[in-house]
Structures are given as C-alpha cells and as structure tokens.
Structure 1
C-alpha cells in the first residue's frame, strides 16, 4: 500500500455503534497505509467488538479504562504518543459529550485531552438517521467542527447514517495529521477517458480508467488543497470512486469539448490545473438515433478536438499547468523528449510521462519531467499522486 500515513501515530477511539464491527478492518487499512494504531474503547463498544480482536488488528494493547497511568494524557497530551485522534465510529452520545466537555468514557476523555493539547481530531459519526437529524446532535457537530475537528460525513442509506468508507476515513485522517503544504489552494484535476458519441448508443473512447487522476485528486486533498475533479462519473467504477468522491468537488463530463469547457470555467479561480485525463484527440459528428447494424462498411469522418492545455493556457497565461504524456514503447530518453515537447508548447510547470501500458493498472511507473531533468517515480498510483502534490506545492511556493 501507499505511504499515505507513513510515520503517523493514530489513536483510534471506538464508541458503541454497531459500526464498531468495522473497526478491525479500519485498523488494518490505517496500518496498510503506514500508520501505527492504538485503540481506545468505550464500555459500550466492548460489548459489540471484543478488545482482543482490536488488539489483534492493531498489535497493541487496547485502552478500555483510564487508570492511574493517565492513559489519555500519555496518548493525546501535549507530549503524547498520538499525532491524530480518530473517532470511528462516533455515536450521537459521544459527539454530544465531546461538545459539552463531558468526560465519562476513555474515548471522550481522550477527545477532551486532544482538543486541549492541540492534537488533530477526526470524527466519523455513525447512528440511525433520525438521531443524526436531531437538532441537538447537529448543533453538537457544528460546535465541535468550529473547534477544528474534521468530520467524515456518513453515508445516508436505509434510514441510517452509516459510517463513511475506509477510503474516506483514511484520507481525512491523513489530511488532518499531515503538513498540508497546499492549504488554501484550489486545484483543478482532469481524470479518466472522454467519449465521443457516434450515435445514440456507440462512442469512441480509450482504455484510461481514471485511477491516476483520482489518486492525484486524493493526494492533493490530503496535502490540504480544495480539489475540483473533472471526469466521466459513469466510467469511474461506481461506489466511492464515482460521482461522489469524498475528497473532491466533482464535475461530470463526457466529451473532450465538455471537459475543455469545464476546465476553462473551473480554472477561473484556481491556483493550478493538473490534466491527467486521456482526452480524445478526435471527435465525430454523431448520427441521429442508432446506426443500424449490418455487414455494410461505415466510414467515420474524424475532426481534431481542441487541446485542453493549450485552450486553458490561452485563457490563463499565468496559471501553473501540469500535463500528462502517455506513449507506447520506447526508452525513458525518448519518453522524456516527447514530454518536453508538450512542456514547451503549453508552457507547463512539469509533465508526468508514462508508458501507455500502465493504463488501468494499480501500479505505475512515471517520469516527472522538467526542462532540465527527469525523475522516476514507481509504485502505487497514490504514491505518484503524493509526489505530484509535493512537486506542485514546491512550484507554487517558488512562484509566490
């Protein structure tokens, strides 16, 4: 897995929601991204998931009571072990107590200590929907948010405010615990393939999955940026990686023209654009209805599409732009050469160049290409996203 939470100590506070059954897998997911995890449980939580199971998942002793060892201070005090306190799941009872500074469970005592010590706190609520809609609970959430606590919104399904996905929780935990060099910046990201309609049924498209663009958007969010993601939600795999991504404001587009127009509009108040999408180079005039199937040959007249980066550069001469360049075959020197042609044409900050063979794969290998250097990045696409976010942060800091 990625190094999203590398060298991060996470205190995991578990309250008595039925969603506590998911805490074992959540602890594993935090650790897979590099975190060390120590759990704190309310008495109600221990009735849902046994502390031994949580101990197994974290490989550390679980705090189930505050003793003379002042575990809350050792974990969440000013010189404590934790870099971040994650409350997952957090019940209505727990959120209300935290808002009122009531400390009658190990979890609420750790929360009060963390808030007083300036330790970042992330809260993932889970409860029945009527409880979540209670004005007192909503007021408590607003109050706690005003203190700087980051909330990971629940999924409203089947009359329940279900705990957020592990992806969303891990992402917000990493954002809260990190340095956030892109805080206050707004970045537009294009992602995935575009599709050109041939008729009411058929399209011209390509094999891009959008994994890289979504990984870049997620990494930018972790680094503190506000992210606008332009992609075709219908081709993004469904679930948390579709039209509702917890780390970006999504603009759903389909064609190259729609993506280019959306990019021009979104960049009006942006600090940078990263174009990771595999945008169609050609379009076609769509036929009305559905072209009948048959053995007859069919000729399509293809027309070049506008280059998104060139169009945005024309509208915003000073906006930092990052491009992607995919080529088939060839060595790194040839790949870097092609990337530098794009770099110069659109006056880009840098170009991410890769072999087209990695399209749709979980792992990637790419070159970060500038005018005078090309540096290799290999690993998961989220690791590439984090590297791009670091490069962009340095670029923006240098321009400032």
Structure 2
C-alpha cells in the first residue's frame, strides 16, 4: 500500500475516533452508512469523500499535518477544487484496501465470538469458549452484583423484549444522571464493547431456580447417621416390633396435654403401630389436625362420618389425654362425638382400652373422680395416672405410655411367660466405706426386660449396681448390690416357679473374706486383702429352676472364637442351661463385630450382630419354652 493509501486508511480509522466530533459525522457499521450532522446519509465512495473532506478541515491528509492553504481546502477557491480532486483520487485508490481491512476486522470479531460462549448473568463479558486461552478464562470471572440479570431473564443470558425495553430505559436514565453529575462541558468517556455489556445488564436482576446440592454432614450436625428405614419427612426410626401389625385408635380430648400428641403418635409408629386418630372439638383448639396427621401418617377423624367404618378391625384404643368429662361420658354411655363412639364400640367388642387422665389436682382428688375411675376400671378400662406436679396430675411420658399400652395389648396373647432377669454389677465390701465392684452398666438387662414387658410377659428384675437408666414402667425391680444379697433375692423369687430365668448380672467370682469394721486408715504403706471364691448363682439355682428356660451370659477375653464356644458349651452342660450368650471383651463396643454368640446344648453357634438381635433371640427362646 502506498503512502497515500496508508494515509487514506489512517484517515478512515481516525474518522471513527476523534474527528467525528469535529464534523458531526456518525457511522452505522451494520448498514455501511455514514450520517452527517444534518441527517444526510452517505454510502460507499461518497462516505469516503465526505470523511476526507472532514479531514481536510483538520489538516490531516496523507498521514501528515498541513495547513488549509497548502491543501487548497478553502471553500470556493481553485486550490480547494484541486485538493478535492486529489482527495477523490486517493480515496478511490485506497477503497479496496480499506474494504479488505474492514473485512479482516470483521473476521477477527467473528472468530472471537466463536471462541467465546454466550454472555451469562454474573459475567462482565462473553464467557470463554472451549478454545480460549487460560489467561482469558481467568480474566472472565463474575463481577458480583453489577452483573446480575433481572427476574425475566433466560439461563443463556438473554432477556425478553419487555425486560430489554425496561433495561434500556434504566440505562438511559443512568447515562443522563451521569451527564448531570459530570456537567455538559465534560467530554463523555469513550464506550467500549465491554462497557456496553456491563451497562446493558447493570440494573437488571437474574431469577434462577435454586439448585439443591447434596451437602456433606457438618460437624455441628452431629456424627450420627440417618437410619436407613427413615425414608421420608414423616418417617420414623423403628425401635421395636411390640405393636407390629396392630391398628390402634388414638383418642385426643381437650386437655392441655394434647400438645404431646405429636410425640405420642410418632412413638406408637416407632414400635410398628398403624395409628387412627380421633380428636374432639376441644382438642382441635389446642393442636391442629394437620399436625396430628403429619405425626400419625394416617387418618384423623374430627367429626362424624358415614358408617364410621374406620373403627372396624381395631386392636386397641388409647385416650391421652383423658379429661374427666371424657371419663364420665364413657362410664355413662354418652355419645358426644366420634371419640365416644370409638370407646363404646371397643367396650362392646372387648377391645383393650387405656386412658391417661390429665387434670388439676383438685379435680383428681375429688371423690366423684375416684368413683368415675373405679367405674371405668370395672368396665375394663386401664387408667394410668401421671405424676402430681405443680398442682396438676400430668400425663406420664409418651415412651412410658406406649410401653404400657403395648403390654396391655400383648398380655392376652398365647405363650406369655413369667420371667426373672438378673442384671447389673455386684460389689463386695472392704470396710464400711470402700468396696470392690466389677464393671457392668445394666444396659443389656434393662433392654431385655423392656422388650419382654412390651410383648406382654410378666417380668421381675433383680438388679445390682447400674448406671444405665431404669425403665419406670417395669412392674417389679428388686435391688441387691452385693453378690450374696442378689443370690438371696433370686432364691426368694424362685419359690414362685417362674417360666424363665435370664442371668445377665455380672456376679463377682471372688469376695473379700473378712471386711474391716469402720474405715481402714489411709496412711498404711500396703494393704493385704484376702479374696475367696464366691458362690455360682446359676449352680445354686439349678434345682429351684428345674423345668424352666435358663439362659446365661459368659464374658471371656484373650481367646479365639472356637475356645469361646467350647467354654460356653461346658457351662451349659454343668449348670443345666438352655443356652448361653458368650462374648469377648475385645468385641464389645465395635459395631463391625458380633454383639455375642448364642450357644445351645448341641454346640451350635449363632452370631448375634446387634443388641436388638440378641434381645429378640432370647425372647424367642423364652416364648418357645423349655
């Protein structure tokens, strides 16, 4: 390209920058037009001539600076006509090169757009495409709240026509406000492509549906896992099967204790019950049927329905809380709603009914209340009173309610047994202050007693020293802290000829021979203690328990499983046991190891992986009988 052509090309480029303001020209690249200050449109060569005339005014022709006289750019003079002729020649010769240059720029722009993704919300410029460099990817990052898109936007960064108009109006208002702040005499900052993109999305928001991502369990959430059998928001963890397959009616009357209905309904389901809830009008003013329906995951009756077929095939009725009005209506056969109908149907069919009263202390001690309770019990209703606290007879805990209700429903089943369970640790005294104690929390013994009671068995416990909480609903618990005292209690209980014995207690094998009186002084350098073998409880009870199911526990350490099974078989043969639960000290506390091994007289070994497996295996042996 010649120097004249270069000058014409540079003049054309300069036209798109500073000189446009001097002549009032504007370009429309899309349509290939140039508009003059008066609104005239120039295309092709005419636009080039018009631009170069503008350059003559500024003294820029051929890429060098000249004054107006040297170029002949004075309107009406011969030099002006000659200069204009020269400009036309230069522009005509430079037109192909200028057009080629513009085509090259257009190709570069298309290539850049091809290597870039769409303009997405949160980005100040097009997102780098798959062929973009690492530097471009690092540069194109979200710009925060400045690059958000409005509520009507699309995921690819486009917006609807309505929001586009709204966006342009907001942009114009922003520009006008900027001009007012700058003042009309201040030149406007030159807008680039990136600034145009930012300005186009600056005042709009982007509405995107939230994406739920799986989050790892934080330390603040606790280390426990969600049980596998909890499958939904209304699901519960199964804790037992004492109410498995049972369809029960949960009656809710208008006492303030109705707020505990949610806990009570879910506790019933934890033990396998199917719950049908019947609420009085007064109860609905305390707790909503919607909350009860969520907790029970079943039907909630609040008014009469045609036929009341929901009351068919009901295994038991539990009323908690039961007001005095409810008790009086039931005793005298009044029909004030679906709850009273359910109680009447249950009474006529011999279905078990349990009521848990809740009322003020003055009402509970009223002789009329005593008469109502006695009459209800005479008609077959089980009435369970709660503690007297704060001037009120409150309902018992929901766990105890369900345990007592399960016992009531299962007590009439076949193969119900009378069972004695020894549990806990035993001690032998050194003096009147100190004593030697073995290690046992009593947790397994309490769990076994609770399970047997819920399944309707008659349970008696002889408990030593325990740290695990005792279930308050067990009917008989005898305390014996020393090994001799526990043996005496066992011999006394054995007089009733029970159906089964389970020896879970950790009985000391050795006892202190001669305990000191008072307190041994603590200043002695050494203390000699003489230990003698203690009596074996299972051997001492063998004759008294003839014909009963007898299950013992044996804990060993430092031996292999084969030796463990051999020692368990030896104990079965020596003491006449039905079975022995053998375990090793090294396996306790490890979820990946068996909780114990059930060994019978034949030497068969059954691994029991969890404590629940252990409890269920013992219960089956007891129900099967000797």
Shift of 1:264: 0.3
> Residues 131 and 386 of structure 1: is their aligned pair in 2 closer, same or farther, counting only changes over 3 Å?
farther
- Distance (whole Å) between structure 1 residues aligned to residue 565 and residue 300 of structure 2: 51
Equivalence for 2:268: 30
Residues in 1 aligned to 2:455 and 2:380: alpha-carbon distance in whole angstroms: 17
Give how far 1:190 is off.
0.7
Partner in structure 2 of residue 378 of structure 1: 609
Computed over aligned residues only, the root mean square deviation of the Cα atoms, in angstroms, reads 2.7
Match of 1:345 in 2: 574
* Correspondent of 2:486 among 259, 263, 272: 259
Please, which of 252, 269, 277 is the counterpart of residue 496 of structure 2? 269
Give the CA deviation at 1:236. Answer: 4.3
- Residue aligning to 1:229: 461
Larger mean Cα displacement after TM superposition, 139-148 or 38-47: 139-148
Work out the CA distance in 2 between the residues paired with 1:114 and 1:276. 40
What SS does the aligned partner of 1:190 have? strand
Flag the 1:374–1:256 CA change in 2: closer, same or farther, 3 A: same
Q: What SS class does the counterpart of residue 254 from structure 1 fall into?
A: coil
| Bigger Cα displacement from structure 2, 302-311 vs 118-127 | 118-127
Per-residue CA distance 1:311-338 (angstroms, 9 max, x = gap): 1114444444221222235554433322
CA contact (8 A) 2:255 2:358 kept: yes
- Higher mean C-alpha deviation, range 32-41 or range 304-313: 32-41
Q: Pick from 14, 31, 40 the counterpart of residue 252 of structure 2.
A: 14
How many residues get paired? 383
Contact 1:14 1:40 (8 Å CA) reproduced: yes
Normalised by the size of structure 2, how large is the TM-score?
0.56
Instruction: Measure, in 1, the Cα distance between the counterparts of 2:462 and 2:574.
Output: 23
Moved more, 339-348 or 284-293: 284-293
- Structure 2 counterpart of 1:279: 507
- CA drift of 1:258 comes to 0.6
Return closer, same or farther for 1:138/1:369 CA change in 2, 3 Å cut-off: farther
* Contact 1:217–1:248 (Cα < 8 Å) also in 2: no
Q: Which range moved further: 369-378 or 57-66?
A: 369-378
CA distance in 2, matches of 1:12, 1:377: 35
Q: Distance in 1 between matches of 2:360 and 2:584?
A: 48
Partner SS for 1:313 = coil
Does structure 2 conserve the Cα–Cα contact (< 8 Å) formed by 1:267 and 1:273? no
Gap regions ≥5 residues in structure 1: none
Cα distance, 1:22 vs structure 2: 1.5
Structure scoring higher RCO (CA < 8 A, sep ≥ 6) equals 1
User: What SS does structure 2 have at the residue aligned with 1:4?
Assistant: coil
Q: What secondary structure is seen at the aligned counterpart in 1 of 2:303?
A: coil
Task: Report the alpha carbon displacement of residue 53 of structure 1 after superposing the two structures with TM.
Answer: 1.6
Instruction: Name whichever of 142-151 and 46-55 sits farther off.
Output: 142-151
Whether the 8 Å contact between 1:208 and 1:360 is mirrored in structure 2 is no
Question: How far does residue 229 in structure 1 lie from its aligned partner after superposition?
Answer: 0.8
1:218–1:248: 8 Å Cα contact kept in structure 2?
no
Does structure 2 conserve the Cα–Cα contact (< 8 Å) formed by 1:197 and 1:203? yes
Instruction: Pick closer, same or farther for the CA change 1:378–1:156 going to 2, 3 Å.
Output: farther
Bigger drift between 282-291 and 189-198 goes to 282-291
Structure 1 residue aligned with 2:164: none
How far off is 1:392 after superposition?
Answer: 0.9
Residue matched to 2:617:
387
How far residue 237 of structure 1 moved from its aligned partner, in angstroms, is: 4.2
SS in 1 for 2:541: helix
Unmatched 5+ residue regions in structure 2?
A: 1-238
Given candidates 76, 87, 90, the residue that maps to 2:322 is 90
